[in-house]
Amino acid sequence: MQKLGEFKLPNFFNYPPYFTLQPVRETREKQIQLWKELIIDFCRTQKIFVIGLEEDFPLFSNPAIERSLSYEAREAFLSALVSDGRAEWMDKGHRKCLVLWHRIQDWADLIVKFVKEYGLEDSVMTVEEIRSGTESRGTELHGIDRTVLMRALKLLEHKGKLAIFKGTSADDEGVKFSL
Protein backbone atom coordinates (compact mmCIF):
# COMPACT_ATOMS: atom_id res chain seq x y z
CA MET A 1 0.00 0.00 0.00
CA GLN A 2 1.31 3.41 -0.99
CA LYS A 3 1.80 6.06 1.70
CA LEU A 4 2.01 9.82 1.76
CA GLY A 5 4.12 10.41 4.84
CA GLU A 6 2.34 8.33 7.49
CA PHE A 7 -0.98 8.49 5.64
CA LYS A 8 -2.01 5.24 3.92
CA LEU A 9 -3.45 5.92 0.49
CA PRO A 10 -6.41 3.86 -0.78
CA ASN A 11 -5.95 1.40 -3.65
CA PHE A 12 -7.78 3.60 -6.15
CA PHE A 13 -5.01 6.20 -5.79
CA ASN A 14 -2.87 3.98 -8.05
CA TYR A 15 -5.61 3.54 -10.65
CA PRO A 16 -5.05 6.13 -13.44
CA PRO A 17 -8.73 6.56 -14.46
CA TYR A 18 -9.53 7.97 -11.02
CA PHE A 19 -7.39 11.00 -11.87
CA THR A 20 -9.69 11.82 -14.80
CA LEU A 21 -13.31 12.87 -14.34
CA GLN A 22 -15.35 9.92 -15.51
CA PRO A 23 -17.98 10.57 -18.20
CA VAL A 24 -20.46 7.89 -17.07
CA ARG A 25 -22.68 9.31 -14.30
CA GLU A 26 -22.67 6.19 -12.09
CA THR A 27 -18.90 5.81 -12.30
CA ARG A 28 -18.39 9.53 -11.68
CA GLU A 29 -20.61 9.41 -8.56
CA LYS A 30 -18.53 6.55 -7.16
CA GLN A 31 -15.32 8.40 -8.09
CA ILE A 32 -16.50 11.60 -6.38
CA GLN A 33 -17.50 9.68 -3.24
CA LEU A 34 -14.06 8.03 -3.03
CA TRP A 35 -12.28 11.36 -3.50
CA LYS A 36 -14.48 13.11 -0.91
CA GLU A 37 -13.65 10.45 1.68
CA LEU A 38 -9.95 10.59 0.80
CA ILE A 39 -9.78 14.40 1.05
CA ILE A 40 -11.62 14.47 4.40
CA ASP A 41 -9.49 11.64 5.87
CA PHE A 42 -6.25 13.19 4.67
CA CYS A 43 -7.14 16.67 5.92
CA ARG A 44 -8.20 15.28 9.31
CA THR A 45 -5.00 13.27 9.84
CA GLN A 46 -2.74 16.05 8.55
CA LYS A 47 -4.73 18.87 10.23
CA ILE A 48 -5.22 20.68 6.92
CA PHE A 49 -8.07 23.17 6.80
CA VAL A 50 -7.52 25.08 3.56
CA ILE A 51 -6.97 23.70 0.07
CA GLY A 52 -6.03 26.04 -2.75
CA LEU A 53 -7.13 24.80 -6.17
CA GLU A 54 -4.17 26.46 -7.85
CA GLU A 55 -1.62 25.29 -5.26
CA ASP A 56 0.22 22.01 -4.99
CA PHE A 57 -1.77 19.65 -2.81
CA PRO A 58 -0.26 16.19 -2.21
CA LEU A 59 -3.42 14.25 -3.07
CA PHE A 60 -3.93 15.94 -6.41
CA SER A 61 -1.09 14.10 -8.11
CA ASN A 62 0.50 10.69 -8.06
CA PRO A 63 4.01 10.73 -9.49
CA ALA A 64 4.21 6.92 -9.28
CA ILE A 65 1.62 6.60 -12.07
CA GLU A 66 2.37 10.01 -13.62
CA ARG A 67 -1.15 11.34 -13.08
CA SER A 68 -2.56 14.60 -11.76
CA LEU A 69 -6.09 15.86 -11.30
CA SER A 70 -7.20 18.56 -13.69
CA TYR A 71 -8.41 21.89 -12.31
CA GLU A 72 -11.94 20.82 -13.31
CA ALA A 73 -11.64 17.55 -11.33
CA ARG A 74 -10.25 19.34 -8.27
CA GLU A 75 -13.12 21.80 -8.36
CA ALA A 76 -15.68 19.01 -8.87
CA PHE A 77 -14.43 17.03 -5.85
CA LEU A 78 -14.25 20.08 -3.58
CA SER A 79 -17.64 21.33 -4.82
CA ALA A 80 -19.09 17.94 -3.86
CA LEU A 81 -17.70 18.44 -0.34
CA VAL A 82 -19.26 21.93 -0.29
CA SER A 83 -22.62 20.43 -1.32
CA ASP A 84 -22.35 17.95 1.57
CA GLY A 85 -21.61 20.74 4.06
CA ARG A 86 -18.09 19.39 4.59
CA ALA A 87 -16.34 22.38 2.99
CA GLU A 88 -16.95 26.00 2.04
CA TRP A 89 -15.51 28.15 -0.70
CA MET A 90 -13.51 30.99 0.84
CA ASP A 91 -13.74 33.22 -2.22
CA LYS A 92 -16.17 33.91 -5.06
CA GLY A 93 -13.75 32.57 -7.65
CA HIS A 94 -13.67 29.13 -5.97
CA ARG A 95 -9.89 29.13 -5.67
CA LYS A 96 -9.62 28.37 -1.94
CA CYS A 97 -11.68 25.89 0.02
CA LEU A 98 -12.11 25.59 3.79
CA VAL A 99 -12.38 21.88 4.58
CA LEU A 100 -14.62 21.00 7.49
CA TRP A 101 -13.58 17.51 8.48
CA HIS A 102 -15.81 18.19 11.46
CA ARG A 103 -18.91 20.27 10.88
CA ILE A 104 -19.08 23.52 12.91
CA GLN A 105 -21.59 21.96 15.33
CA ASP A 106 -19.20 19.02 15.84
CA TRP A 107 -16.33 21.42 16.58
CA ALA A 108 -18.60 23.19 19.08
CA ASP A 109 -19.32 19.83 20.74
CA LEU A 110 -15.57 19.11 20.91
CA ILE A 111 -15.01 22.48 22.61
CA VAL A 112 -17.68 21.69 25.23
CA LYS A 113 -16.14 18.24 25.80
CA PHE A 114 -12.67 19.81 26.13
CA VAL A 115 -13.90 22.42 28.61
CA LYS A 116 -15.64 19.80 30.75
CA GLU A 117 -12.74 17.30 30.65
CA TYR A 118 -10.26 19.94 31.79
CA GLY A 119 -12.55 21.51 34.40
CA LEU A 120 -12.67 24.87 32.63
CA GLU A 121 -16.44 25.38 32.98
CA ASP A 122 -16.13 28.82 34.61
CA SER A 123 -12.74 29.76 33.18
CA VAL A 124 -11.46 32.41 30.83
CA MET A 125 -9.11 31.51 27.98
CA THR A 126 -7.80 33.36 24.98
CA VAL A 127 -8.69 32.10 21.54
CA GLU A 128 -4.99 31.43 20.97
CA GLU A 129 -4.79 29.31 24.14
CA ILE A 130 -7.59 27.13 22.79
CA ARG A 131 -5.81 26.79 19.44
CA SER A 132 -2.25 26.33 20.64
CA GLY A 133 -2.06 26.35 24.43
CA THR A 134 -0.74 23.59 26.66
CA GLU A 135 -4.27 22.55 27.65
CA SER A 136 -5.27 21.79 24.07
CA ARG A 137 -2.10 19.83 23.24
CA GLY A 138 -2.99 16.30 22.24
CA THR A 139 -6.61 17.21 21.45
CA GLU A 140 -8.24 17.79 18.09
CA LEU A 141 -8.56 21.47 19.00
CA HIS A 142 -4.79 21.96 18.97
CA GLY A 143 -3.91 23.69 15.70
CA ILE A 144 -7.53 24.30 14.70
CA ASP A 145 -7.99 26.91 11.98
CA ARG A 146 -8.90 30.25 13.56
CA THR A 147 -11.90 30.78 11.27
CA VAL A 148 -13.34 27.38 12.15
CA LEU A 149 -12.71 27.93 15.87
CA MET A 150 -14.34 31.36 15.87
CA ARG A 151 -17.42 30.03 14.09
CA ALA A 152 -17.75 27.19 16.61
CA LEU A 153 -17.27 29.63 19.51
CA LYS A 154 -19.88 32.01 18.07
CA LEU A 155 -22.32 29.11 17.78
CA LEU A 156 -21.74 28.28 21.46
CA GLU A 157 -22.07 31.96 22.37
CA HIS A 158 -25.40 32.06 20.56
CA LYS A 159 -26.49 29.06 22.68
CA GLY A 160 -25.44 30.90 25.88
CA LYS A 161 -22.57 28.54 26.74
CA LEU A 162 -19.84 31.16 26.58
CA ALA A 163 -19.11 34.82 25.99
CA ILE A 164 -16.49 36.09 23.54
CA PHE A 165 -14.83 39.35 24.43
CA LYS A 166 -12.42 41.51 22.48
CA GLY A 167 -8.97 42.44 23.62
CA THR A 168 -6.69 45.10 22.18
CA SER A 169 -5.81 42.86 19.22
CA ALA A 170 -7.14 39.74 17.49
CA ASP A 171 -4.63 37.69 19.49
CA ASP A 172 -6.20 39.02 22.69
CA GLU A 173 -9.73 37.79 22.04
CA GLY A 174 -10.97 35.88 25.05
CA VAL A 175 -13.63 33.37 25.89
CA LYS A 176 -15.50 33.10 29.21
CA PHE A 177 -17.08 29.68 29.50
CA SER A 178 -20.34 29.26 31.41
CA LEU A 179 -21.29 25.60 31.10
What is the β-pairing status of strands 3-4 and 7-8? Answer: antiparallel
The distance from CA 141 to its chain's CA centroid, rounded to whole angstroms, is 12
Which of 56, 74, 99 represents a domain boundary (last residue)? 99
Range of the domain at 68: 3-99
Mean pLDDT in residue range 55-82: 94
Judgement on whether residues 113 and 94 belong to the same structural domain of the protein: no
For residues 141 and 153, is the Cβ–Cβ distance under 8 A? no
Task: Output the domain CATH number for residue 43.
Answer: 1.10.10.570
Task: Output the domain CATH number for residue 128.
Answer: 1.10.10.10
Judgement on whether residues 137 and 161 belong to the same structural domain of the protein: yes
Confidence tier at 173 by pLDDT (50, 70, 90) = confident
Which of 45, 74, 99 represents a domain boundary (last residue)? 99
- Number of structural domains found in the chain: 2
- pLDDT over 60 at 1, yes or no: no
For residues 116 and 157, is the Cβ–Cβ distance under 8 A? no
Judgement on whether residues 28 and 72 belong to the same structural domain of the protein: yes
Tens of pLDDT, residues 76-135: 999 999 999 999 999 999 999 999 999 999 999 999 999 999 898 888 998 999 999 888
> Of all helices (H) and strands (E), which one includes residue 148?
helix 146-158
The pLDDT assigned to 172 comes to 73
Q: What separation, in Å, do the N-terminal and C-terminal C-alpha atoms of the chain show?
A: 46
Q: Whole-angstrom Cα distance, residue 156 to residue 119?
A: 17
Q: Whole-angstrom Cα distance, residue 14 to residue 158?
A: 46
The pLDDT assigned to 170 comes to 60
Tens of pLDDT, residues 133-158: 888 888 999 999 999 999 999 999 99
The pLDDT assigned to 89 comes to 95
For residues 71 and 53, is the Cβ–Cβ distance under 8 A? yes
Q: Whole-angstrom Cα distance, residue 148 to residue 151?
A: 5
Judgement on whether residues 36 and 60 belong to the same structural domain of the protein: yes
Which of 69, 99, 129 represents a domain boundary (last residue)? 99
Q: What is the mean pLDDT of the chain?
A: 91
Closest CA to 18 of 96, 94, 75, 77: 77
